[in-house]
Structure 1
Amino acid sequence: MTVALNIPLIEKALLTGSWPQDFQYDASVYPVLEIAQDVVNGRFRAPLTSPAARELFQLGPNVNEQPFDSLLGLCQVPEKALDEAGELLRLSLAVALLHAFLQTNWTGPDIDVKPLEILTAPPEIASSLTDAALDQKATAELAYGGEPSYHLARFPVFLRLAQLLLQQSYRFCASAAWWKLRAEITHQQLLDEPVVPPPSVFTALETLTGTYASDPDLLGRLHLETGLLHHITTQDKSAAEYFVRAARATGLEYELTGALGKRTKFQQKDLSQLVLLAESRLKIEDRSEKDAQNSTELVDTQNAAEGKISNVPETLALNDDTLLEQTQFTSSRPEGDQADSRLSHLDPSSQPALHPLDQCILLSLCLNVRNTSPSHGLTAEQMSPYVARVITHPLNWSVHTMALLLRSRLESARTRTVERATLQMQALVDQMPTADSSITERLQYLHGLPLPSKWELESELALQFLRLGVVRSALEIFERLEMWEEVVKCWGALERPDKGIAIVRDLLEGRREESENVVSRGKTEVSASRRSQLDAAREAKLWCLLGDLEPEHAAEHYQRAWTISRETSGRAMRSLGGYHFARGNFQEAITCLRRAVKINPLLGRTWFLLGCACVREEDWESARDAFSRCVSIDDEDGESWNNLASVYLRMQSTRAAGPKDDERAPNEADGDDDDEVSPSFLSFFFSFPRAWHRVASPIATC
């Protein structure tokens, strides 16, 4: 039976990654439906190389001089002239491009289509154009807010094309705004530091809440993914609100309580143990139900590690002589006041399987525990029940991968569990190229998870090696990933800082080439110098790194980075502002730091230093504004609250009787006013990229 073009139904299939089984159509009448179905089922080659796609992705002759948005003929057809099928085609191709990029760089395995098979180039340049040249161009265009994008991301042209498609106006496809949110989350994870998203990303989502209010699945996903964008951009309070909204939308009921149990093999007396009771209201799919029935026999994670569930990552056993694999609860009811709660009927040792979307929400709530709590052992104990509740019933490849990664981060700080944590991280890295699960399953819930990319996961493993003192292995990984800042830190740990300086200078002067440029030079006739091949943001970052390593020439290097980036490098101004602050040049520091926060206002540490510099110059109103921004970014920053209160007191006393010379300025660095902040400390303070902060400690990573 032929069914009319049902835009909302197709949009839901694209959003959820599940094609409705009872939906039939005539491909000769609606060829776009066949393209949409292929996209939902993870078959990206056919849609992206179809005649309709190649007609859309036609490059102009000036590939090297013009950006992609000027080269592609996306605007040849007036926006108002597009019908429902035309808009759905563009949306489907944007989803295919975004998912192809995510499959290549996040979930694996490798994609079976390349950029040149998608783009149509004029005959005069077709022979000289390569995939590497297109990717290099896309990498430069993906730099945003003064932050460079990771240069070894595979096929970034896919993400850039998806962005261009989603930037078009959509009259019939309301979910285009949602896909713009997903593309923005992906883009943020390519950058060294989070930047402020375009305001249109959030404003367009406001209408979607009412559109999907009657669908718990879609509404829960929307709130969850909006919260993840807030989490990435360090807006922890807003993220927590959206995570709770997501739980309410899906009907997830959960509570953290206690039950009697044992955690060690030799424990004689039952003690109260933390447990998360949770129950889903969403209906689990038939395939997941089957896995859930199997997993009810696998409450012990060791059984899951034996391979009885084959489409999820391997769960390594602890094999400790003292600790149990997991807490054994001897009581079937929670303790205390929670015994009369709505979830008191659940047995802590045998809870029912949760819907994968609810599992994603629990893992996000686990993030909120980290975001709103100090980094100490109690926080880890509070987070562990969330992770254990998800690991118990593995129903989806991506969800289980994220749960295992969170558990590894928590266990990496404990002596008895650090070995499993490291081996589990290694196993997660090794599983990416495998095809042990379908592409559809890996992508179905990926947008609702803070799952790191392949290079971030490998860098996290390298940082774990560093914590264990295996510096050489960490150095090998960082060099392969071409994360030069971490390479320099490794050489510093090996007491060879001269090697780090030599590497950076070799990169800048062309004596050492990155793999991207080696490949590009080998496939194209490039006569330009090595320096011309570096995009401005990446070269500016290298000059900043050299400034950190050579304090005697730091100001010169930072200023050169600022010039090379065409005055867009926030890192250069942050470093230069810190340099002037350390030497007491507070007015120059204020000028630089104001430029830095204008480029990227999300970094609280930059606002804090700006406030301290304004205090030294007795610019109380500017100091008040800076510390106010600090506490708006992190409302638990006690030092900023203290300084803000001191500034208000000084403003009041100044208005009343004028400043007194013997009054102390607000606390700047837990020291006296005459203390100077060392240049080495400021280099350390400003040098870490976001990926380092995310994995610097086992708690901070969650």
Structure 2
Amino acid sequence: MIRARVLSFLDWTNDADKALAKRRAFLVMAVGIAALLSFWQINVTGPCVDFPSCQKFLINHDNLCVSEAECNKWAVKQLMLDGCDLAGLCSLPQYLILAKILLVDILDAAQGKSSLKEILPVTISWWSRRALIANQSILAERSPSLCTSLMALKPEGFGLSWGTDLNAELVQIIEGALQLEYGFIEYAFGHVDQANFRFNAAREVCGLEISLTGMLGFRTAHQIDPKAQMVLIARTSSDANELLEKDIEKSSTVSMSKDGKLDADTEEDILMLPRLVSAEDRKPKMTGNQLNSFQQAVVLAQCLHVKKSNPDDEMRGWQMAPFIEAVDSQESSHFLIKRCSQLLRIRWECTRSRTKQRALLMLDKLVEDIRGTAVYGVQERMCFAFCLQFPPLSSLRKELAEMMVSCGLVGEALQTFEELELWNSLIDCYCLLGKKAVVLDLIKERLKEQPDDPRLWCAMGDVTFNEDCYEKAWEVSKHRFGRAQRSLGRSAYNKAEYSKSMQHWQAALTLNPLHSDGWFALGSAALKARDLDKAVDAFTRAVQLDPENGEAWNNIAAIHMTRKKSKEAFVAFKEALKFKRTSWQMWENYAQVSLDVHNIAQAIEAVNMVLDLSQGKRIMVDTLDKLMDEVEALNKANSNEQSINPSVRLENGSTDLEKGAMVNESSNQPSLPTTKDAATIVNQATENEWLLARVGKLLSRVVQISPTSAAWGLLARWHKVKGDSMMRGEALLKQVRSLQGSDWQHNKEHFKELSQVALQLSDVYMETSSKTGYKKDLYSVQMLLRNLIKQGEQFSDEEYHAAVVKCLSDVEQTIRYLK
């Protein structure tokens, strides 16, 4: 094996010439770097040219004849770590195997051999990380073994002295590139906060300050009036500006013109870049400074963080747009930086119906640019190759084919899926065309050539719905292909065999515990099997790996809600709603747990969202009733505090209840309250007033949407808390009229409800009449009570009937008194 030969080549224990050993170690690293860059060129940066095979370095025996196809097949199996499938068929995988042997394996061997560690270049750990992340980039799933290896390789170079041969500008770029690369490693495994820390460190190194602001501008060619546009403002240091001039000379990629048009003509009237205007004179306006190439890479990294830290909705694309447009507006950009910015734009525009066709054309041109051999050389393409989150060519072609399918070009996508050996996508396309038998024949032909390929056996199972095919895939992979167990788990779940499904998912997750969808599926099976502890653990692992999984957060919250753990449910629902804001069911549950933890503000927001999303069809009467209970309790507690501290007075004139403004000052003269600080009491009381105003708006909205008796009763309670007897009386009167439409004469519960409201209305009218002397309302409630007594004679034995009789006597006495 080449690994043993290289270690023998580097063994200098019997040789006193350490300098020669160091030169040998540098030579080994250089060959490893060459192999890695060759693989990266043919699969990521382009141009795609013919490379000689390196199978002679990898075969076990010198006299063994192995074809290049067999060598590639062997190399692919070596790269499919932890049962992970490939994202698409890659080219020359043997080069990556050679790079990993010469870089990663040699570095691992040096950990237990001090003599070897002494002669290895310091930067071999940097190139080893690049080789490992290259391996991860071609996999469809996160590999736990690669994650462990990458996290074990601490970032070298943050505190190193780079000598005198490198100038300060180049050292700055190297240190910033190191931060970016390590940030993308964290990003690849879902460590969003750690990645953002590295991205910010890179931004500080290059002297870049960025901020978002709003400016007037035009988005379409035929737009008449300018609208507010979100724009990124970038400010750079003087040193960075000096580096920019040199960078422009080296870069040969020209950006879009400043009027926002593409290099290639398109028919869309939507501008690529917003045409900004000055707010004063409505003239074109430039934003920010020109950036050097490394600063542009930092801006794109910040754009990815915006994508990862926001929910997947329509707004996320617009939040990313200023970063993309900031790079597109540059006078010059390196090849891969420009292509990375274009890819982010394509993924954004393909979600909008008006720009979807343009996105398809741009992606097709992008793939051709990467594969093409003209215009851009290898050296320029390789600049910043590891400082950007740019996918391999196979992933780009897969994305192009999927976009073709979404545009109805299914036939065009078939050839690409077949070339990349993406059998699942190929099956879906043939099913859309109604040609399921064609893909079945194709898979059978491939199985004759490759009978030990587990991916083909799983594809056969997907077509025939035969579990034996998945078992065969598990067998030929020697129990290393996790996708086979995942397919068995899905099949068992669909048959309602939840315990069996859990077993298959656990087997798959044993191979690859970083598969977030697998943990979610395990949690779903456990939930169906009523194993709530297992379900919570599985869903928790899912959100740890993928914090954007709103469904997993929702399931965690639902389980806690079932177990009456309101605090835990509140936190989980809050996370879930960051990513699934259009589910009224989720908002409804969130309103309930918000009240359980006495968070009135969140409950109000949740109820409003339910009304919005259900278009007023979901009126949460029970939740609103509980909300009023909380408001009444708060009001009572606030009254008690003020009675205990008579020196505290609220200045309502300085409080903006409608906008929710908070008052942070107490009265002018200091006091010595017996329980709490006066300012604290004032702030609490003001917050309660603000909440009360919001509840009033909510209840007013409810009675407009659904003027039921329950809604009017809730509004009456709110007016009672506010101390507005007149408005409370109006609400109670409308509640009475609503209840009079029911069969209260024959229904005991309805008669009781109407009687209770009538009693409240009588109390309000007697109170206001005694103050104003106005008797008309008393006459109307007198007639109401008499009618209740007369038509409710069958309920004369009930306690509330007697209460109505007594109330009528009180009303009549009040009328006589006023006369």
Aligned pairs for 1:128-167 within 5 A? 128-149=65-86, 152-166=89-103, 167=105
Cα deviation, 1:84-125, whole Å, max 9, x if unaligned, reads: 322222221111110011111222224564134974989962
Counterpart AA for 1:255: S
In structure 2, what is the Cα distance between the partners aligned to 1:603 and 1:359?
Answer: 32
**Cα distance 1:292–1:451, how it changes in 2: closer, same or farther (>3 A)?**
closer
Q: Which residue of 1 aligns with 2:786?
A: none
- 1:42 is aligned to none
Q: Name the CA distance, whole Å, in 2 between partners of 1:488 and 1:549.
A: 7
The letter of the residue matching 1:211 is: L
Partner of 2:355: 417
1:491 alignment partner in structure 2: 430
SS in 2 for 1:278: strand
Matched residue of 1:216: which SS?
helix
2:495 aligned with 1:546, yes or no? no
2:327 counterpart of 1:380: no
Q: Offset of 1:469 from its aligned partner?
A: 0.4
Aligned to 1:324: 271
Seen in structure 2, the aligned counterparts of structure 1 residues 79 and 497 have a Cα distance that, compared at 3 Å, is farther
Equivalent of 1:84, from 22, 37, 41? 22
Q: Match of 1:257, SS?
A: strand
Moved more, 397-406 or 290-299: 290-299
Q: CA 1:143/1:79 → structure 2, altered by over 3 Å: closer, same or farther? A: farther
Distance 1:325 1:569, change over 3 A: closer
How far 1:563 moved relative to its partner? 1.4
In the TM superposition, what is the alpha-carbon distance from 1:549 to its structure 2 partner? 2.1
Contact 1:332-1:349 within 8 A present in 2 as well: no
One-letter identity of the residue aligned with 2:223: Q
Residue 707 (structure 2) aligns with: none
Q: Matches of residues 357-396 of structure 1 in structure 2 within 5 Å?
A: 357-393=294-330, 394-396=332-334
Per-residue CA distance 1:164-198 (angstroms, 9 max, x = gap)? 11121344422222212111121112223222224
1:22-65 CA-to-partner distances (Å, cap 9, x unmatched) read xxxxxxxxxxxxxxxxxxxxxxxxxxxxxxxxxxxxxx6xxxxx
Distance 1:120 1:143, change over 3 A: closer
Match of 1:556 in 2: 468
**Offset, 1:633:** 1.7
Displacement after TM superposition at 1:639 (Å): 3.0
- Whichever residue aligns with residue 327 of structure 1, its letter is P
Secondary structure of 2:500 counterpart: helix
Q: Identify the match of residue 248 of structure 1 among 201, 204, 210.
A: 204
> For 1:209, what is the secondary structure of its paired residue?
coil
Q: Match of 2:159, SS?
A: helix
SS at match of 1:449: coil
Shift in CA distance, 79/545, structure 1 to aligned 2, threshold 3 Å: farther
Residue 177 of structure 1: aligned partner: 125
Aligned to 2:35: 97
- Of 217, 220, 224, which residue of structure 2 is paired with 1:261? 217
Residue 421 of structure 2 aligns to which amino acid in structure 1? E
TM-score (norm 1): 0.70
CA offset digits 1:224-258 (Å, max 9, x no partner): 11222233333334333332332233222111211
Deviation at 1:584, TM superposition (A): 2.5
How far apart, in 1, do the equivalents of 2:12 and 2:446 lie?
Answer: 45
Find the counterpart in structure 1 of residue 550 from structure 2. Answer: 638
Q: Does residue 572 of structure 1 match 2:511? A: no
Tell me how far apart the structure 1 counterparts of residues 563 and 356 of structure 2 sit (CA, whole Å): 51
Query: What is the aligned partner in structure 1 of residue 643 from structure 2?
Result: none
Shift of 1:209: 3.3
| Cα distance, 1:409–1:645 mapped onto 2, change above 3 Å | closer
Supply the AA of the counterpart residue of 2:275. Answer: Q
Report what 1:612 is aligned to.
524
Specify which structure has the higher proportion of helix.
2
Q: Comparing 102-111 with 214-223, which one deviates more in the overlay?
A: 214-223
Question: Cα–Cα, structure 1 residues 546 and 234, in superposed 2: closer, same or farther, change >3 Å?
Answer: farther
Shift in alpha-carbon separation, 1:368–1:297, aligned structure 2, 3 A? closer
Alignment of 1:60-71 (within 5 A): 69=3
Task: Report matched runs for 1:430-579 at 5 Å.
Answer: 430-431=368-369, 432-508=371-447, 510=448, 530-531=449-450, 534=452, 539-551=453-465, 553=466, 555-579=467-491
Deviations 1:412-464 (A, max 9, x none): 23333223222221212222222312211111111111222222222222112
Query: Taking structure 1 as reference, are residues 132 and 332 closer, same or farther at Cα in structure 2, changes over 3 Å only?
Result: farther
- Give the structure 2 partner of residue 19 of structure 1: none
Secondary structure in structure 1 of the residue aligned to 2:130: helix
Question: Whose radius of gyration is greater, 1 or 2?
Answer: 2
CA–CA distance in 2 between the matches of 1:618 and 1:549? 32
Q: Which residue number corresponds to residue 272 of structure 1? A: 228
Residue deviations 1:255-285, cap 9 Å, x none? 1211111222333322211111113443536
* Counterpart-to-counterpart distance in 2, 1:605 and 1:435: 41
CA distance, structure 2, for counterparts of residue 133 and residue 364 of structure 1 = 39
Equivalent position SS for 2:479? coil
Question: Residues 401 and 413 of structure 2 are in contact (CA less than 8 Å); yes or no, is this contact kept in structure 1?
Answer: yes
- 2: CA distance between counterparts of 1:165 and 1:188? 18
After TM superposition, the score normalised by the length of structure 2 is: 0.60
Match of 1:560, SS state, is helix
Higher relative contact order (CA closer than 8 Å, sequence separation 6+): 1
The aligned counterpart of 2:179 is 223
* One-letter amino acid of the counterpart of residue 70, structure 2: A
User: For 2:436 and 2:317, how far apart are their aligned partners in 1?
Assistant: 35
Question: What is the distance in 1 between the residues matched to 2:254 and 2:457?
Answer: 53
Closer/same/farther in 2, CA of residues 455 and 353 from structure 1, 3 Å limit: same
Which residue in 1 is equivalent to 2:506?
594
Distance in structure 2 (CA, Å) of the matches to 1:294 and 1:646: 53
- Where does the alignment leave 5 or more consecutive residues of structure 2 unmatched? 111-116, 163-167, 566-582, 586-819
Aligned partners of 1:455 and 1:95: how far apart in 2?
22
Conserved in 1, the CA contact under 8 Å of 2:209 and 2:236?
yes
Q: Quick one: structure 1 residues 151 and 110, their matched pair in 2 at CA, closer, same or farther if it must change by over 3 Å?
A: same
2:698 alignment partner in structure 1: none
Distance 1:440 1:121 in 2: 31
Q: 1:151: Cα distance to partner?
A: 7.4
Conservation of the 8 A alpha-carbon contact between 1:602 and 1:633: yes
Q: Which residue of 2 aligns with 1:397?
A: 335
Q: How many Å apart are 1:76 and its aligned residue?
A: 4.6
Does the 8 Å CA contact 1:577/1:589 hold for their aligned counterparts? yes
CA contact (8 A) 1:105 1:453 kept: yes
Change (3 A) 1:124 1:543: closer
Q: CA deviation at 1:352?
A: 2.8
| Runs of 5+ consecutive residues of structure 1 not aligned to the other structure | 1-59, 61-67, 306-314, 336-346, 511-529, 654-669, 673-702
Q: Would you say the 8 A contact 1:140–1:148 is kept in 2?
A: no
CA–CA distance in structure 2, aligned partners of residues 570 and 252 of structure 1: 44
Contact 2:324/2:345 (<8 A) preserved: yes
| CA 1:501–1:389: 2 relative to 1, 3 Å | same
Give the direction of change, closer, same or farther, for the CA distance of 1:566–1:354 in structure 2 (3 Å limit).
Answer: same
Separation of aligned partners in 2, 1:124 and 1:248: 53
Number of the residue aligned with 2:248:
289
Letter in structure 2 aligned against 1:487: L
CA distance in 2, matches of 1:238, 1:262: 37
SS state at 2:459 partner: helix
Counterpart amino acid of residue 450 in structure 2: R
SS class of match (2:82): coil
The number of equivalent residue pairs is 538
Report the Cα distance in structure 2 between the residues aligned to 1:111 and 1:259, rounded to whole angstroms: 46
1: CA distance, partners of 2:478 / 2:59: 30
